[in-house]
Amino acid sequence: QVQLVESGGGLVQAGGSLRLSCAASGRTFSSYAMGWFRQAPGKEREFVAAISWRGISKGYADSVKGRLTISRDNAKNTVALQMNSLKPEDTAVYYCAASPARYYTTRRDDYDYWGQGTQVTVSS
């Protein structure tokens, strides 16, 4: 069982930066691949970024490549999403998720545990 709590969302102007953090409980955090997804109003939840259990492999959606960076600290049971050069289209609720797949996966169905989400709003 893994419980996830996101933080760090907020309101930022276009071009600005935010850093999202996800704190995980459970002794097996380091054995899970971790991912970030987002859901904008009226749209389906979509993949943003993911990282393998050791943090060696990472994957990103094309829309965020070069602007967002995922990282993890297994000693602290945390995963972060550094968001730079934000755009209004990045506005969404961002969710942290854990997958037992170990190697990163972009598939929403591969993730068993989800946080409550944190709102990110980018104004133009």
Each residue's pLDDT tens digit, 82-123: 999 999 999 999 999 999 988 999 999 999 999 999 999 999
Grouping H, G, I as helix, E, B as strand and the rest as coil, residue 88 is helix
Contact 115, 97 (CB under 8 A): yes
User: Cα dihedral angle (93, 96, 97, 103), rounded to 10 degrees?
Assistant: 120
Sheet holding 3-7, edge to edge: 3-7, 18-25, 78-83, 68-73
78-83 and 18-25 strand pairing: antiparallel
Each residue of 81-114: b (16+ CB within 10 Å) or e?
A: bbbeebeeebbbbbbbbbbebeebbeebeebebb
pLDDT digits (tens, 9 = 90+) for 34-49: 999 999 999 999 999 9
When pLDDT is cut at 50, 70 and 90, the band that residue 29 belongs to is confident
